[in-house]
Amino acid sequence: MKRIRLIDIPKISDPDGRGNLSVVEKDILPFSIKRVYYLYDVPSDSTRGGHAHKELQQFLIPLSGSFDVVVDDGHRRKTITLNRPYKGLFIPNGIWRELENFSAGAVCLSLVSAEYSEEDYIREYADFKKYVENN
């Protein structure tokens, strides 16, 4: 759980009150970005995620609205609410994750360290527990 962390994204406020701008550059993340995707129009009673990755690392940013990220290292579970577009959540490999409680209009941006590979996914929680025991 110690490797999971919130990371501040630089927020640049316009002095004339025209809004804010945030930038994710390579020195903010502990990995190079290989893929970008986003979740939107998720019903509030739906859950996304529900898997872990063997190698892939992930950085989640709530571009709009809010949602909860439940992270689990096989021993402990923790819920982190994301609701500020200038704070993202770094999830390293070997962590089970579930996204839930999406607010209306929530958009979750995901920056990841690898291209899609089905072999990298652990999709069953029982398999994840075995993976944790063996690694």
DSSP letter string over the chain?
Answer: -TT-EEEEPPEEE-TTSS-EEE---TTTSSS---EEEEEES--TT--EEEEEESS--EEEEEEES-EEEEEE-SS-EEEEEE--TTEEEEE-TT-EEEEE-PPTT-EEEEEESS---GGGEE-SHHHHHHHHHH-
Which of 48, 51, 87, 129 is an active site residue? 51
Residue 51 annotated as catalytic: yes
Instruction: Return the active site residues.
Output: 51
